[in-house]
Structure 1
């Protein structure tokens, strides 16, 4: 009883706080008397309007909700899609050496026995076909440190190498010297930490970072000539290593084009039973060398060295990762031109693209696979002319179930059909896998808008996705009044982003051609043919390729899979030609 009273009291206090907050807001904003207007003011405050004195309009609220929805849709599997990121990579720090002496029975003063520290871990980068975004890569990456050396001549363990997995098509660039985005290296970071210290304090800190002493021998070591000589040699090695690193960064910075999966082939002369090791990838940051034990400083003049060195810091480097999707054919078009519907139709429904009757439904690039058989048929063509529209498909399925009384197959979207049902409906598609002889990939890129080359909206992200495709295909909405105006905008944006990029275009797909003659009226059919003829004349006169070829014009209806056989045949020719040139 007392527990229930306590819970009731907490709920009552919570409701009182809410009512009090609403009352205060109503007093501050007397124009909003209803609870709905109070909620509106609260959302306006959290969304940070440009002018706090002005009340947000309904248009501003709608724009704010659209932005929030756009950010939510750009998330894939709980992670935000990223195609450009800057990361800081540090190799592992080397383990410290050890200053120790061997002590055994009847040997109270044994020889030096301090082991060396283990080397820090190296950091590699390797492309992986299982990744599609850079969102899983952390901004700061550090390799494993080496273990410290120990007495009785025990050396420390080397840190395990670290491999950064990135998607195929990633370009890795080293941020050059002088760029404000570049993080400080190990020497610059040390100089910054010692900047405000005096000369004596700075010298003491530098020695503490580089040297370790046998217990009780620190003050005596710094006055010995053997220690001073070793210290001078150590600083000389550091200067040489720093100058070598700087020359490498200026003359030969890291640049990797990871467009192929790296496979480590087994050598034919390898002994039987040898394990196949996986390729680590490309080395980007070396681990620091381990510190040296006191056994390293044993000489005829110094028979009992009581000092050793600490491990060196790993190499620090700042990398720029840029993902450019690898697809044989890239679809280029304005928003809501039907690119997603086209990709879904060409892949037989395997590509999970969003299809809706509003622009910017595709916010992240999607890559699908088109599989072609020896006789020219492709996966999407063997099951007939399907309707690639989710709303219409659901309506037709419900209508057919209502007419036939077959409610057993009225499953939800998450339920799976049995194997017999699947083979009965898609048996030909299942048998198609055996006769596949050619395949290529198509990327459904988000729609381009005017000034996309100036990075308006997400222009550079969209254009970057199609930059690596050897063949581009324009997709225009044939149902608009002047579809050739879309071609002008698309070509200009491609050229502004990268000169010569529009020369990779090979075909113009006039999508949504079914909307012009949907009524079947002879006048509408003649108007559609005249419009197609004008589009062909415009392309022939204004969009010639550098080699003199003209772009092919193919009117299609991706929604009803009409005239897609010719599209697949032409794409296969373009991909074959591009692969032969490579």
Structure 2
């Protein structure tokens, strides 16, 4: 999937169907001159429904069509026959889609399970036919209820990427390179910051035909939790990842400081993110000889006590098998 086809934020206008009108029919048959009221009820207007689909990864289907309208219910008929319900509109969305009111920003619901269906615009009820209004003092009512109007909804759909492992790091830390090596994904890679502007997903093949999903999240910068560098736009994708893999390059001036900044930004955005399992990977270790690598390990043991660190090189393929093993263990314990 190309970056331009990854759509994770759309605004849509939804209109449910109007309910059908109740019938005012009076029964007239041979030898039955005054059969009384037999008008049926109107049909219900169609709903607009969101349905989770695990095979979708983006909101691309909403990119070129933003208005959806369900069918109106049919009017009631004679012999108390109820009009047909209006056709529902079912919109399939990827798992991890959050639905908000566009005007207030209020979160209405989230789609997190395959096949989950949620009504976001409810069709109007059909009107009752005249036979409901028959009484001892009004044996031939010539009126019925009109159907209720459908709802208009202006909603915002936001996708928070669902993945097993999310890559977290500063811009140009080597996240996209790692994803391209560990999966068949082909993210854009270049030697400048913010090369990645949209999340990229890849499937990591593990032993015995097992696999897990890895997401390359656009780079985080200091102040991202306050919106700097499109921080809110990027950070929301990290919320749905089961395990966080922090990437800090070996040539960083202060690895412990960068790791601390990343943790603080996640905590400021959503403190619950720190409850996730996490692992620190030092990338670009092919630039270090054995002596420098030993010094770096000793330094990190002192500056980041208790933090699990792994040393990898995506270019040289160093430490990647061990990284897969550790991530699989974290995901399954």
- TM-score interval, smaller chain: 0.7 to 0.9
CA contact (8 A) 1:89 1:142 kept: yes
Which structure 1 residue ranges, 5 or more long, are not aligned? 1-72, 183-252, 263-279, 374-434, 518-524, 541-549, 578-582
Give 1:132's match in structure 2, choosing from 40, 57, 68: 57
Q: Is the 8 A contact 2:45 2:73 kept in 1?
A: yes
* Of 290, 298, 311, the match for 2:134: 298
Distance in 2 separating the partners of 1:464 and 1:151: 55
1:159 aligns with 2:86: yes
| Higher strand proportion | 2
Q: What's the offset of the Cα at 1:134? A: 3.0
- Select which of 123, 131, 136 maps to 1:287: 123
178, 184, 187: which one aligns with 1:342: 178
State the Cα distance separating 1:464 from its structure 2 match: 0.8
> Is 1:143 aligned to residue 66 of structure 2?
no
Q: Does 1:556 align with 2:321?
A: no
Structure (1/2) with the larger helix percentage: 1
Question: CA offset at residue 336 of structure 1?
Answer: 1.1
8 Å contact 2:41–2:127 — kept in the other structure?
A: yes
Residue by residue, what CA displacement relative to the aligned partner does 1:118-138 show, whole Å, maximum 9, x if unpaired? Answer: 111233322111222234346
Q: 2-side partners of 1:575 and 1:470: how far apart?
A: 7
Give the aligned partner of residue 304 of structure 2: 539
For the structure 1 residues 551 and 100, does the alpha-carbon distance in structure 2 shift closer, same or farther, using more than 3 Å as the test? same
What is residue 277 of structure 1 aligned with on the other side? none
Instruction: Quote the residue 1:502 is aligned against.
Output: 274
| TM-fit CA distance, 1:310 | 1.1
CA contact 1:122–1:283 (8 Å) conserved in 2: yes
CA contact (8 A) 1:289 1:311 kept: yes
Q: Is the 8 A contact 2:98 2:107 kept in 1?
A: no
Specify the alignment match of 1:261 in structure 2: 114
Does residue 364 of structure 1 match 2:290? no
C-alpha separation in 2, matches of 1:509 and 1:456? 25
Does the aligned pair in 2 maintain the 1:254–1:284 contact within 8 Å? no
Going from structure 1 to structure 2, the CA distance change for 1:119 and 1:505 (only over 3 Å counts) comes to: closer
- 2:7 equivalent to 1:81: yes
CA RMSD of aligned residues (A): 2.9
Determine the structure 1 residue equivalent to 2:95: 168
Corresponding residue pairs, total: 330
Give the 3-state SS of the residue equivalent to 2:41 in structure 1.
coil
Report if aligned partners of 2:8, 2:160 keep a CA contact under 8 Å in 1. Answer: no
TM-score by length of 2: 0.86
Pick the structure with greater CA Rg. Answer: 1
Residues 372, 312 of structure 1: alpha-carbon distance in 2 compared, 3 angstrom cutoff: same
Q: 1:119 aligns with which of 34, 38, 44?
A: 44
Structure 1 equivalent of residue 236 of structure 2:
464
Indicate whether 1:181 and 2:104 are aligned: yes
